[in-house]
Amino acid sequence: MRKKQHSTLMQVEFVCPKCGKKLAWALPTSEINCPACGTWVTDRNRRIENTLYLPLDSDQMVLFC
Ligand SMILES: [Zn+2]
Protein backbone atom coordinates (compact mmCIF):
# COMPACT_ATOMS: atom_id res chain seq x y z
CA MET A 1 0.00 0.00 0.00
CA ARG A 2 1.34 3.37 -0.98
CA LYS A 3 1.46 5.93 1.75
CA LYS A 4 0.60 9.48 0.83
CA GLN A 5 2.69 12.17 2.39
CA HIS A 6 1.19 15.52 3.31
CA SER A 7 -2.31 14.10 3.08
CA THR A 8 -2.87 14.10 6.81
CA LEU A 9 -2.76 17.09 9.06
CA MET A 10 -2.05 16.40 12.68
CA GLN A 11 -3.55 18.53 15.38
CA VAL A 12 -2.90 18.22 19.06
CA GLU A 13 -4.91 19.41 22.01
CA PHE A 14 -3.18 22.17 23.92
CA VAL A 15 -3.77 21.81 27.64
CA CYS A 16 -2.08 24.18 30.06
CA PRO A 17 0.55 22.24 32.09
CA LYS A 18 0.17 24.67 34.97
CA CYS A 19 -3.57 24.97 35.57
CA GLY A 20 -4.90 22.17 33.36
CA LYS A 21 -7.14 24.42 31.28
CA LYS A 22 -8.00 23.06 27.85
CA LEU A 23 -7.11 25.74 25.35
CA ALA A 24 -7.53 24.62 21.76
CA TRP A 25 -6.80 22.11 19.07
CA ALA A 26 -3.94 23.31 16.94
CA LEU A 27 -0.89 22.26 14.98
CA PRO A 28 2.03 21.08 17.14
CA THR A 29 4.06 24.08 15.97
CA SER A 30 1.59 26.49 17.55
CA GLU A 31 2.04 28.43 20.75
CA ILE A 32 -1.00 29.31 22.79
CA ASN A 33 -1.13 31.69 25.72
CA CYS A 34 -3.28 30.41 28.56
CA PRO A 35 -5.77 33.16 29.45
CA ALA A 36 -6.20 31.78 32.95
CA CYS A 37 -2.61 31.80 34.20
CA GLY A 38 -0.58 33.40 31.40
CA THR A 39 1.54 30.33 30.64
CA TRP A 40 2.74 29.91 27.07
CA VAL A 41 1.76 26.42 26.03
CA THR A 42 3.72 24.76 23.25
CA ASP A 43 4.09 21.21 22.00
CA ARG A 44 7.06 20.87 24.34
CA ASN A 45 5.33 21.68 27.61
CA ARG A 46 1.67 20.96 26.94
CA ARG A 47 -0.15 18.36 28.94
CA ILE A 48 -0.77 15.47 26.58
CA GLU A 49 -4.31 14.14 26.54
CA ASN A 50 -5.30 13.45 22.98
CA THR A 51 -3.86 13.60 19.50
CA LEU A 52 -6.18 14.16 16.59
CA TYR A 53 -5.42 13.36 12.99
CA LEU A 54 -7.40 15.31 10.42
CA PRO A 55 -7.26 13.82 6.95
CA LEU A 56 -7.35 16.68 4.47
CA ASP A 57 -9.23 14.75 1.85
CA SER A 58 -12.22 13.76 3.94
CA ASP A 59 -14.36 14.84 6.85
CA GLN A 60 -13.32 11.88 8.90
CA MET A 61 -11.62 12.45 12.18
CA VAL A 62 -9.72 9.75 13.97
CA LEU A 63 -9.10 10.19 17.62
CA PHE A 64 -6.21 8.47 19.36
CA CYS A 65 -6.32 8.40 23.12
ZN1 LIG B 1 -3.02 27.94 32.60
Number of domains forming the structure of the chain: 1
Protein residues placing their CB within 5 Å of the ion ligand 1: 16, 18-19, 21, 34, 36-37, 39
| Cα(57) to centroid(ligand 1), Å | 34
Is residue 49 a part of any domain in this protein?
A: yes
Q: Is the dihedral of CA 45, 22, 64, 25 positive or negative?
A: negative
> Which H helix or E strand runs over 61?
none
CA of 22 from ligand 1 middle (Å) equals 8
> Does residue 62 belong to any structural domain of this protein?
no
For residue 63, report the distance from its CA to the centre of ligand 1, in Å: 24
In a domain, 12, yes or no: yes
Range of the domain at 13: 1-28+44-57
Confidence of residue 27 (pLDDT cuts 50, 70, 90): confident
Query: Is residue 51 one of the residues assigned to a domain?
Result: yes
pLDDT digits (tens, 9 = 90+) for 34-51: 999 999 999 899 887 666
Task: Give the per-residue pLDDT at 50.
Answer: 62
Helix/strand/coil percentages in the chain, nearest 5: 0, 40, 60
- Band (pLDDT 50/70/90 cuts) for residue 12 is confident
